[in-house]
Chain A
């Protein structure tokens, strides 16, 4: 078990976005978090990360994990596009949760940075400026940064947004590698449900509450039923 939530209610200040969230995420899972715009995917992710406080309910992590040691790839942010920073600097900033109160990095963090650059095959970009990279390369750099922060859990918020088909495919391969070879639990928020279902082993569908939580096969069945039901209802109401 990595994290469990019980009757979790989340939202901003007085506005409830999601309630009755009951989910369990286990070690090595590849979770797809799915839902319409405004369904509360990002809010749930931010609550798990501790960026916003939960409103009610419980959320518990396994003993060797804290909110700080979760890797995070935020939604695309325009601010980053022209930022003067080298790839190395960006990736290294993922190690900040390891340096505690020290002002500077030690050899250990520098080594980890190099290691992550290698795993994501972007060593040759190390000294390039972040602003000059393509969308796919930028995403890899941010992924390397997120990996620097964690050994266990990685949360990705819309990682495929703005990537073309071929680049997205490469990113899937990279993510598979991270999940299978490094054993990192992945929680991915995405709209591209079709592609993701082929890789994920758990689907969570959000809309006001947790509509569905299960494996991809069950989810396809669930979708079929929903679809047939809605067809049936249209036929009846139509007459």
Chain B
């Protein structure tokens, strides 16, 4: 019966849910395949840092009056921030994890202060920026997300072998003549765009989980690069759909994370078991 209701609802409300649904699917695919590279390059923290910075920039943009299309202001600034974080990660002088923590909490604090100056408080609900809300997704998000997804998937298809090499061993890749810095900038920019759009749906505090969780889950079971990329995209989309259609009564971003957590536990168990049997 409840299943019937869901399907019925789907058809009745398709106009309302079509933007969140498609933005969510594209976001899940993009975030998870970028996540494979970020996790393997040990850049997971950059994803987390970027989401906090997006929040800060977002809040400042709203505070300064760019209320109509803040996203077009936020994206370039966050891309720049991604580039800076990457440079910090490359330098050996600064401890990059500490630097990222510093950056992200400062951005969060400044954003909150500037954002609350206007009208003596936040104009849009701060809770939804922190934890996300699926109703945020609109046509503009869908267009930007579709372009980003196309670029990400296209990049992975055309540059797959180079991406593998840069991710596996950057110094060797550089020695064979690959422009590794260009690759890193490309990845940081795509991650930044994905996060800016995704954080309004998933929330500042939860967005980095959809980047990290699917690839970690699939790495428990799959041991080849291509398989990891495909499976994490599938895991991510399935987790999104489960949260979207079944956990309808719960906060959306949090549900996605919990479903991903359950997937991770399942995959980790399968991985452990198959390792044990392989040894015997």
Contacts and interface: CB of A to CB of B under 8 A. Distances in A.
Interface of A: 46, 49-51, 67-68, 70, 72, 74, 77, 79-80, 82-86, 89-90, 92-94, 96-97, 99, 103-105, 129, 131-132, 145-146, 149
A84 B175 contact: no
A221 B127 CA distance: 76
A139 to B, nearest CB: 13
B177 A68 contact: yes
Interface stretch (B139-147, B219-227, B234-242): B219-227
Interface residues of B, number: 28
B224 A129 contact: yes
Nearest to A71: B175
B178 A96 contact: yes
A49 B224 contact: no
Nearest to A103: B158
Contact of B169 (A77, A86, A105, A131): A77
Interface in B147-196: 157-162, 164-165, 168-169, 171-178
Given A80-B169, A84-B222, A49 B164 contact: no
B222 A96 contact: no
B42 interface: yes
Contacts of A97: 176-177
A74 B169 contact: yes
B223 A84 contact: yes
Nearest to A127: B224
A70 B175 CA distance: 8
B228 interface: yes
Top 8 A-B pairs ranked by shortest CB distance?
Answer: A129-B223, A97-B176, A68-B177, A72-B175, A93-B165, A103-B158, A74-B171, A49-B175
B168 A85 contact: yes
A89 B224 contact: yes
20 contacts: A50-B175, A51-B175, A67-B175, A68-B176, A72-B171, A74-B169, A79-B169, A80-B169, A83-B168, A84-B219, A84-B223, A84-B224, A89-B164, A90-B168, A92-B161, A93-B168, A96-B165, A99-B161, A105-B161, A129-B224
Given A93-B161, A96-B162, A51 B171 contact: yes
Contacts of A90: 168
Given A85-B225, A103-B158, A104-B161, A80 B177 contact: no
Contacts of B173: 93, 96
Given A80-B169, A84-B219, A149 B176 contact: yes
B40 interface: yes
A55 B246 CA distance: 62
B152 to A, nearest CB: 16
Contacts of B172: 72, 74, 93-94, 145-146
A132 B168 contact: no
Nearest to A88: B224
A94 B176 contact: yes
A89 B169 contact: no
Nearest to A98: B176
Contacts of B41: 79
Nearest to B41: A79
B118 to A, nearest CB: 44
B161 A96 contact: yes
B162 A84 contact: no
Contacts of A84: 40, 219, 222-225, 227-228
Nearest to B165: A93
A94 B168 CA distance: 11
A97 B172 CA distance: 11
B42 A79 contact: yes
A96 B42 contact: no
Nearest to A50: B175
Contacts of B177: 67-68, 96-97
A132 B223 contact: yes
A53 to B, nearest CB: 13
